[in-house]
Homo-oligomer: A and B are copies of this chain.
Amino acid sequence: MTGILAGLRIVEGSAFIAAPLGGMTLAQLGADVIRFDDLHGGLDSDRWPVTEDGISIYWAGLNKGKRSIAVDLRSPKGREILTALITAPGENAGIFSTNMPARGWLAYEELAKKRADLIALNIVGARDGSAHVDYTVNAITGFPLVTGPVGHQGPANSVVPPWDIATAYAGAMAILAAERHRRMTGQGQKIVLPLQDIALSTVSATGYLGEAVVNKVDRPRLGNEIFGTFGRDFKTRDGRWVMICMFSDRHVDALSAAGGFKDAFAAIEKNTGVDLKSDAGRWNARAELVAVIEPWVAALTADEVSAVLKKAGALWAPYQSFRELATDKEAVQDNPLFTVIEQPGIGRYPVAASPLQFGAVDRLPPQPAPRLGQHTDEILSSILGLPAHEIAKLHDDKVVGGPHS
């Protein structure tokens, strides 16, 4: 089985989420992604969640299907080896992705001396190179002050790191765009991707910045309501929650059929003068809609309300915990996205492949993350052509690490 990106090789110097997830995205599509780390592992090697024995489940999740080489990043010889690896020949090689400070020996300008058509993706915090993480970027966007329950004072942070995730995919896309350019022109290049600019461009794209400037308002904190149409959470008789939305005519009809709301919805339209088939109408009559839907959901168990909403084709979903998700038949257990694999040091659990299904190739099953330095020897041998005795010496000199026989 080969993935859509089979043959492409990316060397990655990374930590945390954005760069590792970007590399894993390419690895799960068949690219050979080699992550290098210091002999003692990267900044993220012990990142929580960890097992009882302290093995990072987080690291395993973000580095699946990559190869790992461990090198003393402070030794001149180690740096020489990695420079040779990053700039190794081959029309599908010569691609470097990093969110480490790309200075000194790791600067594009320095690496490009060894391979002029190098492609280097530098993920940075802000455009001036200053350090930022998802949480600090998110603080300035405006989102934390409108997230969380109505009446809450102060910010509510995102648990999902949206900007790291977007940066990962945007970075993977940028590598393919630059590789296309190189294929057509022979020219390599440096790509700079600031995490902060990913967030800011999204605030612009989704209309928040325009609304603030043009309408001169700050969107208020709306709790779980979806601004400008209809959607919110409802509590069931057995103390569970469901999300129910109406984004189109069809969703209005489906919910109406599910709950028997035909007369009630008609009465809302008559009393308030709104058209429930329009976004603005649903938004303006949301209190009236909640007054109809809330008691209906409250009188049913989660199982009951789920069955009837599903049958009617409504736009809805149950809220569930991570442990409930793990046993969810549709989303996980029966979803071909997931395969139960053995992750060395951690155990057997369901792990996701690429969410992308390409018609021209089968989806690659997920592979475990490597152990630190697991592929040091094979990379030194097959890509850099080092003979066994030189590899042995590099181990003896503690320039490289990983299993060695």
* Closest-CB distance, A37 to chain B (whole angstroms): 15
Is chain A's interface secondary structure helix, strand, loop, or mixed overall? mixed
Cβ B60 vs Cβ A322 within 8 A: no
* Cα separation A155 to B148 with both chains bound (whole Å): 9
From B46, B202, B322, B337, give the contact of A211 (CB < 8 A): B322
* Cα separation A346 to B212 with both chains bound (whole Å): 13
* Closest-CB distance, A124 to chain B (whole angstroms): 10
A301 at the binding interface (Cβ < 8 Å):
no
Interface residues on A, range: 35 or more
Contacts of A25 in B (CB 8 A): 170, 173
* Chain A positions 133-176 with a Cβ under 8 Å from a chain B Cβ: 133, 135-149, 152, 154-162, 165-166, 169-170, 172-174, 176
A352 at the binding interface (Cβ < 8 Å):
yes
* Closest-CB distance, A103 to chain B (whole angstroms): 14
This protein's copies in its complex: 2
A296 at the binding interface (Cβ < 8 Å):
no
Cβ A227 vs Cβ B135 within 8 A: no
Contacts of A198 in B (CB 8 A): 355
A335 at the binding interface (Cβ < 8 Å):
yes
Cβ B315 vs Cβ A136 within 8 A: yes
Cβ B356 vs Cβ A325 within 8 A: no
Cβ A245 vs Cβ B133 within 8 A: yes
A57-B179 contact given A133-B245, A139-B320, A360-B189, CB 8 Å threshold? no
* Closest-CB distance, A170 to chain B (whole angstroms): 5
B-contact bits for A172-192, CB 8 A (1 contact / 0 none) = 111011111101010101111
* Cα separation A349 to B209 with both chains bound (whole Å): 8
Q: Across the interface, name the chain B residue whose C-beta is closest to A16.
A: B247
Q: Across the interface, name the chain B residue whose C-beta is closest to A174.
A: B356
Q: Which of A21, A161, A174 has the most CB of B within 10 A?
A: A174
From B148, B207, B247, give the contact of A133 (CB < 8 A): B247
